Amino acid sequence: MFRTPREAGIVLRHLREEAGLSQAVLAERAGVSKRWLVNFENGKPSVDMSLVMDAFAALGTAFDVVMDSAAQGEQR
């Protein structure tokens, strides 16, 4: 689970490393530049969400959106 771009980048880096992939290889598979991937893994806050999804998909993963209890209380 992640709540910030920084946390998302950490998760992606962890999954990439577990898969034994370099940043260059994952970037190529995801169709993004290596610079973009480096920036994302380092928590750059202004990233294109479709590219984030492509990067996770290139690792064979996806993510779910789950509302936390505070957000659920606001919607009632």
Could you report the per-residue pLDDT of 24-69, keeping only the tens digit for each?
Answer: 999 999 999 999 999 999 988 777 888 988 999 999 998 777 777 6
Spatial separation of the C-alpha atoms in residues 15 and 60, rounded to whole Å:
10
The count of residues in the chain is: 76
pTM exceeds cut of 0.85 = no
Radius of gyration for the chain, computed over Cα atoms and rounded to the nearest angstrom = 14
> CA-CA distance, 13 to 37, in Å (whole number)?
9
CATH of domain 5-74: 1.10.260.40
Q: Which residues contact 44 (CB under 8 A, 6 or more apart)?
A: 5, 9
Residue 75: its pLDDT value, please?
53
pLDDT-derived band at 74, boundaries 50, 70, 90: low
Q: What is the pLDDT of residues 5-28, one digit of tens each?
A: 889 999 999 999 999 999 999 999
